[in-house]
Amino acid sequence: MSKSAERHKETGLSRRELGLAAGMAGLGLSFGGAHIQAAYAATQGANILRTPDERFDDLPDYDFSPNYLEIPYGASGSPRVHYIDEGDRNAPVVLCFHGQGSWSYIYRKAIPKFVDAGLRVVAPDFIGFGRSDKLASVEDYSFKAHVEWIKSFVREMNFKDVTPIMFDWGGFFGLRVAGENPELFTRIVLSNTQLPTLFDGESAWFNRFRATVLGMDSFPMGKMVAGGVSNKIGPEIVAAYDAPFPDESYKTGPRAFPMIHPITEYDAPIAANRAAWQALASFDKPVLTVFADSTAASAMSPLMSQDHIPGAKGQNHVIIENAGFYVVEDAPEQLADAVTAFIEAN
């Protein structure tokens, strides 16, 4: 019997999930509840969940045509990855990576700005998010698997001139990719992100994040974005962020993120992340940081990347005032203008 299929007789959870629950209980946290058991019971025997297309009908400001690419994903087969692809196919590419609580929807107002500037925009959804397929169990995801997914996606798309916007988890994975395969990117934009290497304050900050979200019976998506912006968003926007997740069984991807983020020296991604961080000390391609003022003063400061990565030297780094963590939602036009100017200058 596979690890994924091996379930505890009384709770319906796998041994690994029980271990996670026990470890979090020691921190005073909770790994879900009855809804988690129901979600896993409903998905046993199914490797992939696919959100019905009608969930994406008539979302505010989101009328982009869907595109799909199958990406090998270990034991889970080849889930279908969704991406937006707008603009001149021969133009330089802006590759938009989203973060936790969001999906490609967060770039909906920035995309037309990039297209009007003569750029091609590609905005994929991570596996487990948006219109991309969702894997059946939290334990089907890993930090390394998401890193490999990004590599495979960029290679399969055969980009010639690509500038990724690495926002939030897009940078957690994307900076690892850049350190290991610098040839994949022409320039890099970092926004409210850093490579997880257990830098000062990182573990404490992430434990607080776990404490906030993992004890909730219903994992927040739209509410998470609403709580992380300075400019209030309406209920129809919150609902749009929730659209990819008809019920809790579809939220394995978001629920996995807090569990695959390394918080101790013993976590699997740490050694490879630190090696990638050292490799980035020689990365001399242009790097721009565009941070919200609320994040710039936190443990995840843009100064770490600016001081460490040679390509960040001499760039016109941007701090967006009066913006919350979800700066892409709060200030899409300012972000697009900064990225466009960066590409034109480099």
Give the Cα separation of 289 and 312 in Å (integer).
8
CA-closest candidate to residue 242, choices 214, 216, 212, 219 = 219
Hey, is 24 helix, strand or coil?
helix
What's the pLDDT tens digit per position in 158-176? 999 999 999 999 999 999 9
pLDDT band at residue 208 using 50, 70 and 90 as cut-offs:
confident
Least confident range from 171-180, 189-198, 202-211, 245-254: namely: 202-211
Residue 55: inside a domain: yes
- Going 313 to 315 to 316 to 317, the CA torsion angle's sign is negative
Hey, is 299 helix, strand or coil?
coil
CB-based contact 202:299 (threshold 8 Å): yes
CA dist list (Å): 105 to 51, 99, 129, 330: 15, 11, 11, 13
CATH of the domain at 99: 3.40.50.1820
Between 228 and 200, the more confident residue is 228
Residue 267: inside a domain: yes
Confidence at residue 42, expressed as pLDDT on a 0 to 100 scale:
37
Residue 59: inside a domain: yes
Residue 4: inside a domain: no
Between 280 and 47, the more confident residue is 280
Confidence at residue 298, expressed as pLDDT on a 0 to 100 scale:
85
Residue 15 reports pLDDT greater than 90: no
**SS percent in the chain: helix, strand, coil, step 5:** 45, 15, 40
CA-closest candidate to residue 249, choices 101, 79, 135, 103 = 135
DSSP label of 54: G
**Total domains in the fold of the chain:** 1
- Residue 273 domain boundaries: 48-345
